[in-house]
């Protein structure tokens, strides 16, 4: 077979996990001799790495696929592929009439992409959506696409077996499996040597990370400790934690290492016990509050963020008020907030009615967003006058004279530059704030 070299553009939608996957795909394709390009205009193959979590995420991808189709009408040498969760959910349907893509690859089949490309070249449409119980892409060193050279993601596990009633992920990403810790630590070391200063360990439920091999048992607390020991100059973040598995053991490790960031993302979804039960979240409001108290006791300067769903099946006004009440009790620094979107195949779609009118979902979501704005602003105001260590990430969009970076609490800080390079640390005193950003000046 003669060598096939293609220019490939990968566009990514959805979560951090998907961005990390695109970097794995990029690496597999580069190793096979292809070139990764950063614009669709240069490409002869366009891959869209997709998200199925809510209907609007899928609609956005469909719109983009239609745009790419018209590009292909002008130049029929261009091939179009769908990767990720929509590939897994919709399978062959994506190669048919309406969308008519040339290649469909689910989250566990990226190693077969080079072979699939050969097939596509011969005019054959190709689909591989087999899910695996082992694949973790463990030895693949991802290419860093669109990176700032400072922050990078490392995927530590794949899949999810929690089966929350609303969620499609266990169906699109398959069984939970953990990656060999040695390969994770090596990837982190390599990144540090290349100048990266912040890594985020990624998984659907990082607290249930488990590597059991003869005498080498590593849980998440141990893994994060191993990564934190690489260098005090390397910041470690992690996402996402499930409240049912957040252990005091982990909180103790965070306390012990100042380079593990003081920022925990703990999705609550709802503040109502009856909704949490319908959602099959496996914890109660009281359990969740106990975990928040533990975080605040062990790590008083920790920021806490969350995910919230408005208008889940059967949600009453009282249950919605319970969510607002819990938000105030926690005082979240930040939240990702969504309207419930029914996903085919999930427990909720089979057993419950999606009976909250869209107007009511919107109204409740708006109330949640408004409250979060107030909470974020209050939290930022409390930072005025304090000094934070900030990792510099780049030049501010507003002014060439200003740089920006993040605190350990994951808050963005803008400050007048003294031309220190990206990737270095500066101490910044906070002078003022908006709900989204802190402003400060460097302290010498
Ligand atoms: N509808 C709305 N939001 C959802 N999420 C997951 N599934 C759904 C759904 N069907 C949200 C949850 C999760 C985040 C990644 O997306 O809040 O934590
Ligand atoms: Fe990521 Fe979930 Fe979307 Fe899949 S469905 S891309 S796992 S957010």
Nearest ligand 1 atom to the CA of 348 is: 10
Ligand nearest to the CA of 352: 1
Query: Could you report the per-residue pLDDT of 15-51, keeping only the tens digit for each?
Result: 999 999 999 999 999 999 999 999 999 999 999 999 9
**Residue 310 in this model has a pLDDT that exceeds 70:** yes
Radius of gyration of the chain (CA): 22
> Is residue 143 predicted with pLDDT exceeding 70?
yes
pLDDT 10s digits, 144-168: 998 899 999 999 999 999 999 999 9
> Which residue's alpha carbon is at the smallest distance from atom 8 of ligand 2?
15
Give the model's pLDDT for residue 75: 86
Cβ within 8 Å of residue 317, ≥6 positions away:
none
Q: What residues line ligand 2, using a CB cutoff of 6 Å?
A: 14-15, 17-18, 51-53, 84-85, 168-169, 172-173
Q: How far is the CA of 87 from the centre of ligand 1 (A)?
A: 19
Can you give the pLDDT at residue 246?
A: 95
Backbone φ/ψ region at 188: left (φ over 0), alpha (ψ -120 to 50), beta: alpha
pLDDT at 70: 86
Start-to-end C-alpha separation, the chain: 62
Ligand 2 center to 123 CA (angstroms)? 30
Which of the ligands is closest to the CA of residue 22?
Answer: 2
Question: Which among 25, 172, 202 is the best mutation to test ligand 2's pocket, defined by most ligand atoms within 8 Å of the CB?
Answer: 172
Residue 355 — pLDDT band, cuts 50, 70, 90?
A: very high
Buried b (16+ CB within 10 A) or exposed e, 38-75: eeeeebbbbbbbbbbbbeebbeebeebbeebeeebeee
CA of 49 to the centre of ligand 2 (A): 10
Atom of ligand 1 lying closest to residue 339 CA: 2
- 163: region left, alpha or beta (phi > 0 left; psi from -120 to 50 alpha): left
Tell me the C-alpha distance between 67 and 53, whole Å.
Answer: 22
Find the mean pLDDT for residues 123-130: 94
For range 286-309, the mean pLDDT: 98
Task: Give the integer Cα–Cα distance in Å for 281 and 236.
Answer: 27
Output the residue whose Cα is nearest ligand 1's atom 13: 307
- In whole numbers, what is the pLDDT of the chain averaged over residues? 95
Tell me the pLDDT band of 444, cut-offs 50, 70 and 90.
Answer: confident
Kind plus residue range of the DSSP H or E element containing 55? helix 55-74
Decide: helix, strand or coil at residue 151.
strand
pLDDT in tens, 228-241: 999 999 999 999 99
C-beta atoms surrounding 262 within 10 Å: 18
Model confidence at 388: pLDDT above 60:
yes
The values of phi and psi at residue 208, to 5°, are -100, 15
């Amino acid at each position: 077979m003669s060598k096939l070299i293609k220019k490939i553009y990968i566009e990514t939608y959805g979560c951090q996990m998907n961005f990390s996957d695109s970097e794995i795909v990029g690496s597999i394709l580069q190793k096979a001799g292809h070139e990764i390009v950063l614009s669709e205009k240069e490409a002869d193959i366009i891959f869209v790495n997709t998200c199925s979590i809510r209907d609007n995420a899928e609609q956005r991808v469909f719109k983009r696929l239609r745009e790419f189709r018209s590009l292909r009408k002008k130049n029929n040498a261009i091939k179009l592929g769908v990767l990720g969760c929509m590939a897994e959910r919709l399978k062959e349907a994506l190669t048919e009439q309406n969308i008519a893509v040339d290649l469909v690859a689910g989250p566990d089949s990226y190693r077969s992409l080079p072979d699939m490309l050969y097939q596509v070249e011969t005019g054959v449409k190709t689909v591989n959506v087999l899910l695996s119980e082992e694949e973790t892409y463990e030895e693949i060193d991802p290419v860093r696409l669109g990176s700032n050279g400072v922050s990078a993601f490392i995927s530590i596990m794949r899949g999810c077996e929690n089966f929350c009633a609303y969620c499609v992920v266990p169906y699109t990403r398959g069984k939970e499996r953990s990656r060999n810790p040695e390969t994770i630590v090596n990837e982190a070391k390599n990144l540090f040597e290349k100048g990266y200063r912040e890594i985020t360990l990624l998984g659907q439920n990082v607290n249930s990370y488990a590597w059991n091999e003869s005498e080498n048992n590593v849980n998440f607390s141990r893994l994060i400790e191993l990564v934190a020991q690489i260098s005090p100059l390397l910041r470690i973040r992690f996402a996402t934690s499930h409240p049912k598995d957040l252990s005091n053991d982990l909180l103790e490790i965070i306390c012990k290492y100042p380079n593990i960031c003081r920022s925990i993302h703990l999705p609550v979804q709802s503040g109502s016990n009856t909704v949490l039960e319908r959602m099959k979240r496996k914890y109660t409001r009281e359990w969740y509050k106990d975990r928040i108290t533990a975080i605040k006791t062990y790590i008083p300067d920790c920021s806490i963020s969350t995910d919230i769903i408005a208008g889940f099946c059967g949600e009453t006004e009282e249950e919605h008020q319970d969510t607002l009440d819990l938000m105030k009790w926690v005082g979240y620094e930040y939240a990702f907030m969504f309207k419930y979107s029914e996903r085919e195949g999930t427990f909720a779609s089979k057993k419950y009615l999606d009976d909250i009118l869209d107007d009511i979902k919107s109204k409740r979501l708006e109330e949640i967003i408004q409250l979060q704005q107030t909470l974020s602003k209050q939290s930022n105001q409390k930072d005025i006058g304090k000094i934070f260590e900030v990792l510099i990430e780049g030049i501010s969009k507003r002014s060439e004279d200003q740089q920006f970076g993040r605190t350990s609490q994951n808050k963005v800080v803008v400050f007048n530059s003294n031309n220190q390079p990206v990737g270095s640390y500066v101490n910044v005193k906070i002078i003022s704030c908006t709900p989204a950003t802190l402003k400060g000046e460097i302290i010498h």
